[in-house]
Chain A
Amino acid sequence: NAGVTQTPKFQVLKTGQSMTLQCAQDMNHNSMYWYRQDPGMGLRLIYYSASEGTTDKGEVPNGYNVSRLNKREFSLRLESAAPSQTSVYFCASIPTNTGELFFGEGSRLTVL
């Protein structure tokens, strides 16, 4: 099993450009999450999807949009990238009623 797969792994954008980070899981998990990780700040929740067809804001949603395309896929879109969005982005999924998040390998985004 591949687990949680994120693409791309690395991306460099210019301020104002848009892009979408893709995430897919093959574990039949209901809930999926997008986190960002910055030095000294830990993982912060951007958006999550408790189940197919639902999405909710997390701690730092401004500047991002998400789509839960189906049970497997959860994408994160930056409409107009800003340097403050330079970060490592992690997608994760979770089986029902556990705290055991399964993370992808991360997507490293630099906004110039």
Chain B
Amino acid sequence: EDQVTQSPEALRLQEGESSSLNCSYTVSGLRGLFWYRQDPGKGPEFLFTLYSAGEEKEKERLKATLTKKESFLHITAPKPEDSATYLCAVSTNDYKLSFGAGTTVTVRA
């Protein structure tokens, strides 16, 4: 059974204080690892797809990296608008994505 574990559960940052979120996974035959952002009361919004170990993707202050066992989402010099819950998901043979429980990030001005 696919397992996705995210840590920490919650992260409180000062504006400008860079940090990283972790997503560790156990799957047989990773097809893709995905990061989503979810704002309160909204549906998740797609951020990145990573397909193979060593791959990196960037978008504004976010950078996602992938190894064979985990992925990191680095937030560089965060701003209050980066406050959200960040979800990690994996897919294997088909596109039934398995999600982690998420990391809730709060950035204080």
Contacts and interface: CB of A to CB of B under 8 A. Distances in A.
Interface in B49-74: 49
A9 B51 CA distance: 34
A102 B89 CA distance: 14
Contact of A41 (B49, B95, B101): B101
B44 A103 contact: yes
Contact of A43 (B9, B32, B45, B87): B87
Contacts, number: 59
Instruction: Find the residue from A48, A50, A99 having the highest chain B CB count within 10 A.
Output: A99
Interface of B: 4, 9, 31-32, 34, 36, 41-46, 49, 87, 89, 91, 94-102
A42 B34 CA distance: 14
A66 interface: no
Going nearest first, the 7 A-B pairs with the smallest beta carbon separation are: A103-B43, A42-B101, A43-B99, A42-B99, A99-B32, A100-B46, A99-B34
Contacts of A92: 43
Contacts of A4: 43
A99 B45 CA distance: 12
Contact of B96 (A42, A45, A97, A104): A45
Given A98-B49, A99-B49, A99-B89, A40 B101 contact: yes
A90 B89 CA distance: 15
Interface of A: 4, 31, 33, 35, 40-45, 48, 50, 58-59, 90, 92, 94, 97-106
A87 to B, nearest CB: 14
Given A42-B87, A48-B96, A99-B95, A106 B34 contact: no
B95 A43 contact: no
A59 B2 CA distance: 11
Contact of A100 (B9, B49, B101): B49
A74 to B, nearest CB: 15
